[in-house]
Homo-oligomer: A and B are copies of this chain.
Amino acid sequence: MPVVPSEALKARKTPRQARSSATMAAIHEATFQVLLSDGIGRLTTTRVAERAGVSVGTMYQYFPHKQALLYAVLDEYLEHVVVAVEEACLRFEGARLAEMSDGLTQAYLDAKLRHMPASLALYAVAAELDTAALVADVVRRVDQCIERLLQSASDAAFDDLGKVTFALRTMLVGTVRAGLENDASPAALAMLRTQLPIMCRAYLATVSRQ
């Protein structure tokens, strides 16, 4: 359960000097490296500061607390994923329903698999933070472009587009997470690659008109 309200999670104001933002980037990068090499259970502020080559005190000048370190890394990661989804939605605008479903599914899965050890570590990171505001923003952007995509289908229409978008996104995000989180085995990956497109297509075909 998050203890710090999400408004307080962000990094401190960016300092004016160029040297400062280099230090900030070093701390950010060090957080990511420690996360991947040691895991979130062994990620301590001392270790991150050491890896970044600064003292803990300096680190606290740029990030108000440990959660802000993780928040920044999660934020950057989610941005990648959102951009991947947005690009896919633009690419398949106006296509037939089955094609756009497959395009969206593959783009999301690819984005997750491309960053693979990181994707897993970041599910754990998200669980330790109050991600309400961050997730709300991501969901808003993703739902907006998925809704536009579905709206543009050349061979289908929906009675309640908002509900279908919500359901599709929840299924997509949830199923991929469940498939990767507990065992990202070759069998699980193969299942996602083959069955996830079928699920999404089947759902959309069922709830669409024509």
Contact = CB atoms under 8 A, between A and B. Distances in A.
A40 B128 CA distance: 10
Contacts of A131: 182
Nearest to A43: B1
Interface stretch (A16-24, A147-155, A173-181): A173-181
A116 interface: no
Q: How many copies does the complex hold?
A: 2
Contact of A127 (B127, B170, B203, B207): B127
Contacts of A3: 39, 41-42
A180 B40 CA distance: 24
A187 B139 CA distance: 15
A132 interface: yes
A199 interface: yes
Interface string A164-206: 1011001101111111001100011001101100110111011
A192 to B, nearest CB: 8
B191 A199 contact: no
A179 B205 CA distance: 21
Contact of A182 (B132, B176, B187): B132
Nearest to A177: B174
A54 interface: no
B1 A182 contact: no
Given A167-B199, A198-B207, 20 more contacts: A1-B38, A1-B41, A1-B42, A123-B127, A127-B127, A132-B183, A163-B191, A163-B194, A163-B195, A166-B188, A170-B179, A171-B178, A173-B174, A174-B174, A174-B177, A174-B178, A177-B177, A195-B203, A198-B203, A202-B205
